[in-house]
Amino acid sequence: MLQTMPTVMETPNIIKIEGKNMLNDEKKELLSSMIPKAVLKAVTSEAKHSLIKKSFSQDIIPIYDYPFRMGRESRFEHVDNEIIIQKRHDISGYHPNNDVYLFDSGEFLQISKEHCSIIINDTNEYILQDMGSSCGSLVNQVQLGGDNEETTSILKDGDIITLGSKESEYKFKFILLDTIEL
């Protein structure tokens, strides 16, 4: 009895074995290191305008590592009706307080300098923790911090995080990406 070998065709990106497409392990590893574990997507125009560093997308904040800290940018000044943000110094061994800095342009500041963080607990749940911000944070309109003693909330895919009071327009959707199979 003659045994036949499966048909194997190699292309630069995909190896086809018997009609099934399979990324090789090296490419899977590379892709998984490039894709953030989660993202925050700005859902209001105020949230979109608060994003200073727009390297990923116009309205997306990628989250690669935890804890992930967020706060207000305080190094700016008004010059000739323009807002000038002072550059952070790249000093060896210096680590900024936040992973992302947001611009709060309101007269009443909603975002504190060290506002909140997203962490993963021992059971792999995502947690939003208010860091003692003045106005607090909300997860799906449930108050954390500020006048409320509760400072943490479990985050689920699709939850809406508000930085500041219930009147704040700094709203972001929490989107999990680490559950996507490559």
- Over residues 53-65, the pLDDT tens digits come to 655 677 899 999 9
Please, which pLDDT band fits residue 92 given cuts at 50, 70 and 90? low
Count Cβ atoms within 10 A of the Cβ of residue 153 and give its class: 0-12 exposed, 13-18 middle, 19 or more buried: buried
Is there a domain that residue 74 lies in?
A: yes
Q: In angstroms, rounded to a whole number, what is the distance separating the alpha carbons of residues 4 and 163? A: 62
Is 181 inside a domain boundary? no
User: Quick one: pLDDT band at residue 73, thresholds 50, 70, 90?
Assistant: confident
61 occurs within a structural domain: yes
In a domain, 7, yes or no: no
User: pLDDT (tens digit, 9 = 90+) per residue, 120-145?
Assistant: 999 999 999 999 999 999 999 999 99
Q: Answer whether residue 11 is part of any domain.
A: no
Contacting residues for 144 by C-beta, under 8 A, at least 6 apart? 116, 128, 129, 130, 136, 137, 138, 150, 151, 152, 153
Highest mean pLDDT range out of 66-75, 77-86, 127-136?
127-136
- On average, the pLDDT of the chain sits at 80
Provide the CATH number for the domain around residue 172.
2.60.200.20
162 beta partners: 138, 171
What is the span of the domain harbouring residue 134? 37-176
Is a pLDDT exceeding 60 seen at residue 47?
Answer: yes
Give me the pLDDT at residue 44, please.
93
In-domain check, residue 154: yes
| pLDDT score of 19 | 44
* DSSP track, 56-113: S-SSEEEE-SSSEEEEE---EEEETTEEEEPPPP--TT---S-SEEE---SSS--S-T
Residue 34 pLDDT more than 50? yes
Q: How confident is the model at residue 82 (pLDDT cuts 50, 70, 90)?
A: low
At 13 the pLDDT is: 52
In the predicted structure, residue 11 carries a pLDDT above the cut 90 = no
Our count of domains for the chain comes to: 1
